[in-house]
Amino acid sequence: AESGIATLRAMLVAARRAVVFTGAGISTESGIPDFRSPTGIWTRMRPICFQDFVASPAMRREAWRRKFATDPVLRAAQPNRGHRAVARLVREGKASAVITQNIDGLHQASGVPEDKVIELHGNATYARCLDCGMRYELEPLRLAFERDGDVPDCAACGGLVKTATISFGQAMPEAAMIRAEAETRACDLFLVLGSSLVVYPAAGFPEMAKRNGARLVIVNREETPLDGIADLAIRHGIGEVMGAAVGNS
Ligand code: NAD
Ligand code: ZN
């Protein structure tokens, strides 16, 4: 990894406008299991798809039961040195945006301004009304669920309230997709951190960057399907690589 880190450092110095693209791998050092991990809290049960959530009160109850059962892991998580290195790239004006598949909110928690984080799969740290978009914090919903078995609906319009994540079967968030594409086209360095690059359309962004003439760097422990088109692929831990290449204070 040593020579890879030196190369990455030089590529970052040379870059005028970088974009950082993150997946579950950047958050494993914060104690959030990634998708493929055998102990992953998201992999043990078949996920509830959007259509089932909307159609069935029993499914909504089950979705909220699971959410509140798994939430302590998310709430305990703190940004790690990988997140901090990314925040530093943004703060120094090196990176124009962070495009993330993660739903844990840890980029914002590490100090990246809200408007620089583009969330492709939404955010699991709060909820929204599916009809009017009203935002709800989770804690009061959890208390009502645990006390009275209440499945939340919208106080403003009566619509269904769901965590602000994008479920299977749910449309991709259009504004985020448009911004992610614009950032990808405008960058000269596209840095992937901790994504298996198998989930589309998200995995299309590194390909788009490369086609558009940007340099592509992938930092991921395991091989990815795009390593072959990358200018640099470092198969190593993100915290160590980014800490050494960028610093994380
Ligand atoms: P993924 O689980 O498919 O791939 C993660 C990759 O990161 C793996 O290839 C793994 O080898 C690598 N990795 C793990 N820890 C690493 C580390 N410390 N250093 C370097 N590499 C490391 O993740 P994905 O591509 O983001 O796709 C998973 C899907 O599941 C996404 O759609 C995402 O929304 C969701 N998800 C999100 C979270 C989260 O928000 N933290 C967690 C699990 C799943
Ligand atoms: Zn509403």
CA of 55 to the centre of ligand 2 (A): 17
83 given a catalytic annotation? no
Looking at the structure, tell me whether residues 135 and 211 fall in a common domain. Answer: no
Q: Is the CB of 163 under 6 A from ligand 1?
A: no
pLDDT of residue 46: 81
Nearest alpha carbon to residue 20 among 196, 174, 176, 183 = 183
- Domain count for the chain: 2
Is this structure's pTM higher than 0.80? yes
Looking at the structure, tell me whether residues 205 and 160 fall in a common domain. Answer: no
Nearest alpha carbon to residue 74 among 38, 116, 105, 107 = 105
Looking at the structure, tell me whether residues 98 and 216 fall in a common domain. Answer: yes
Residue 47 has pLDDT above 90, yes or no: no
Looking at the structure, tell me whether residues 228 and 108 fall in a common domain. Answer: yes
Where residue 155 sits, what CATH number does that domain have? 3.30.1600.10
Q: Which residues contact 52 (CB under 8 A, 6 or more apart)?
A: 59
Going by alpha carbons, the residue nearest to atom 28 of ligand 1 is: 35
Residue of higher predicted confidence among 1 and 243: 243
Domain with 5 in it = 1-32+79-121+172-249
Residue 43 has pLDDT above 60, yes or no: no
Which ligand sits closest to the CA of 130? Answer: 2
How buried is residue 50: exposed, middle or buried, by Cβ count under 10 Å (0-12/13-18/19+)? Answer: middle
pLDDT of residue 35: 76
pLDDT in tens, 131-141: 999 999 999 99
Where residue 113 sits, what CATH number does that domain have? 3.40.50.1220
Q: Is the CB of 223 under 6 A from ligand 1?
A: no
Identify which of 27, 32, 35 to mutate to test ligand 1's pocket (most ligand atoms within 8 A of the CB). 35
CA of 231 to the centre of ligand 2 (A): 47
Looking at the structure, tell me whether residues 105 and 217 fall in a common domain. Answer: yes
Residue 36 has pLDDT above 70, yes or no: no
Which ligand sits closest to the CA of 156? Answer: 2
Instruction: Please state at what angle helix 138-148 crosses helix 57-76, rounded to 10 degrees.
Output: 130
Is 187 within any annotated ligand binding site?
no
Q: What is the mean pLDDT of residues 13-22?
A: 98
pLDDT of residue 139: 96
Q: Is the CB of 243 under 6 A from ligand 1?
A: no
pLDDT of residue 247: 76
Candidate from 18-22, 69-73, 230-234 with smallest mean pLDDT: 69-73
Is 129 within any annotated ligand binding site?
yes
| 189 in Cβ contact with 15 (< 8 Å) | yes
Looking at the structure, tell me whether residues 201 and 233 fall in a common domain. Answer: yes
Q: Is the CB of 104 under 6 A from ligand 1?
A: yes
